[in-house]
Amino acid sequence: MPSPMEGKILLPASELPNRWYNPQPDLPTPLAPPLDPQTAQPVTPEQLGAIFPQGLIEQEMSQERWIPIPQPVMDVYRLWRPTPLVRARNLEKAIGARCKIFYKDESLSPAGSHKTNTSVPQAYFNMVEGVKRLSTETGAGQWGTALSFACSQFGLDCTVYMVKVSYEMKPYRQILIRNYGAQVHPSPSPMTRTGSAMLKKDPDCKGSLGLAISEAVEDAATHEDTKYTLGSVLNHVLVHQTIVGLETERQLASIGAKPDYLVGCVGGGSNFAGLVLPFLRRKLAGENIRFVASEPRACPSLTRGQYRYDYGDMARLTPMLKMHTLGHAFMPAPIHAGGLRYHGDAPILCNLMEEGLVDARAYFQTECFDAARLFLRTQGFLPAPETSHAIKAAIEVAKEAGPDENVVFLYSGHGMLDLASYDAYLKGELTNFELPQEDIDGALQHCPQV
Ligand SMILES: *Cc1c(COP(=O)(O)O)cnc(C)c1O
């Protein structure tokens, strides 16, 4: 029986959860359906079949509360799962916290972040339907790394369209992706119609995430043996991430503890949702568990976005999703937490937000780097710039929490490939961006009127 004083709470391998939790049957109000970008009618499974395999489309629309994790996915998960829940005792001391602080360490995966929790099942469900190759886009490279790892496990080819400016300025992740055996194209690339057209117009174009999405979707739609993958936002991605919260629940139970605050950073919302969703039913049943989401002030979709239908990408190729959005035409400032620069958020998370079940907070990047450095100097590990937003929020929450309360935050990834950002931080080169209301109003004007 582990003592509550223990620093690192491990879950025995035999207790690795063997099913994911799907929140759809438990949501207080049903999810608004995704709409076809042309007709504004609900998207049909047949339409999604052009770019996604049936197994994942079923999960996207499923009303089953529990979804079994296939054995081959369990076998790959076991390379790093279960992950530890760690008591951050030195951090508690440094900030004079009266409560306990724990973090769930998702940085220990092969790719260094939580994203492998979904890349592995996505590769698997494509493989079993005979798909030979997966295409995707990546910004800073976290998702591309996670997907190329997963494809290498299941013998799939993998093509990653990486925003050219990141490809050139942050070479380490594309080197890792290529060593996993994937092909990486700096986007815009000559491989697609969209990319070629852009290069003809502007040979020096440095790319954008929206453009890279268009290239990856076009690649999948024009090749019979190829499907497209997405690393956040969609329902099936959030469902896969619930393995994190399910493990956390067991780990807390093993020391007789309950969470009072669950904290995570939000880009598209998948890591945060993965932590909190398994506690949704307990919260709805009246337990006092607070869900705290942390986002950049430079890209404040949850705290300042509008709840409405919008496109998932700049090129308006994806279905329209009902979400808190800053507008698909919104171009966020170049903050170092590249994974948090998305104009919208996962519909499941936005649904909970609208129900008043999520407390969202926004922070400047320098205060997040300050928190990350404090974590480094107390706990010893270097967080990803995205993760620093979770740490900042956890510290704020811990200062408000009572003496017997437990704050649990999700440590979404390590920062060992983000050292250039920490260098800029030390040199005092980081800028804080506060988004002017005119910019939000301007970008929202381009949203579809449905
Ligand atoms: C991608 C990423 C995020 C943000 O994505 P979500 O879908 O919101 O989880 C956060 N942290 C790290 C380390 C990431 O790679």
Q: Is 153 among the domain residues?
A: no
Domain membership of residue 350 (yes or no) is: yes
| Residue 199 in domain | no
Q: What is the pLDDT of residue 5?
A: 58
Q: How far is the CA of 99 from the centre of ligand 1 (A)?
A: 26
**In the block, residue with structure tokens 């409405």:** 308
Give pLDDT tens digits along the chain (450 positions): 445 556 899 999 999 999 999 999 999 999 999 999 889 999 999 999 988 999 999 999 999 999 999 999 999 999 999 999 999 999 999 999 999 999 999 999 999 999 999 999 999 999 999 999 999 999 889 999 999 999 999 999 999 999 998 898 888 999 999 999 999 999 999 999 999 999 999 999 888 887 898 899 999 999 999 999 999 999 999 999 999 999 999 999 999 999 999 999 999 999 999 999 999 999 999 999 999 999 999 999 999 999 999 998 877 888 999 999 999 888 777 788 888 888 899 999 999 999 999 999 999 999 999 999 999 999 999 999 999 999 999 999 999 999 999 999 999 999 999 999 999 999 999 989 888 899 899 889 999 988
Residues ≥6 apart with Cβ < 8 Å to 331: 208
Q: Mark 189-222 as b/e (b = at least 16 C-beta within 10 Å).
A: bebbebbeebeeeeeebbbbbbbbbbbbbbbbee
Contact 314, 294 (CB under 8 A): no
Tell me whether residue 251 is in a domain: yes
- The ligand 1 atom nearest the CA atom of 269: 8
Strands (DSSP E) contained in 250-372 are: 261-265, 290-296, 306-311, 320-325, 358-363
Q: Give me 345's structure tokens.
A: 């958020």
Dist. CA 267 → ligand 1 center (Å): 6
Specify the DSSP class assigned to residue 209. Answer: H
For residue 386, report the distance from its CA to the centre of ligand 1, in Å. 6
For residue 328, give Cα distances in angstroms to 185, 203, 238, 297: 24, 24, 21, 17
Q: Are 128 and 429 in contact (CB under 8 A)?
A: no
Which residues are 359's β-sheet partners? 292
Q: Is the CB of 386 under 6 A from ligand 1?
A: yes
Contact predicate 168/187, CB 8 Å: no
Whether 178 is covered by a domain: the verdict is no
Residue 163 resides in a domain: no
Domain count, the chain: 1
In the reported structure, the alpha carbon of residue 47 is separated from the centroid of ligand 1 by a whole-number distance in angstroms of: 28
**Residue 315 within any structural domain of the chain:** yes
Flag whether 52 is in a domain: no
d(CA 356, CA 334): 30
What's the pLDDT at 1? 45
Q: Which residues constitute the domain of residue 256?
A: 4-16+70-112+235-435
pTM over 0.85: yes
* Best of 114, 170, 277, 368 for a ligand 1 pocket test (most atoms within 8 Å of beta carbon): 114
CA of 383 to the centre of ligand 1 (A): 12
Amino acid 199: pLDDT: 94
Q: How far apart are CA 142 and CA 242, in angstroms?
A: 19
Q: Considering only CA atoms, which residue is closest to atom 3 of ligand 1?
A: 339
At 6 the pLDDT is: 65
For residue 378, report the distance from its CA to the centre of ligand 1, in Å: 23
> For ligand 1, atom 14, which residue shows the shortest CA distance?
339
**Burial status of residue 426 (CB atoms within 10 A of its CB: 0-12, 13-18, 19 or more):** exposed
Q: Is 270 in the pocket of ligand 1 (CB under 6 A)?
A: yes
pLDDT at 215: 93
Read off the CATH number of the domain in which 298 is found: 3.40.50.1100
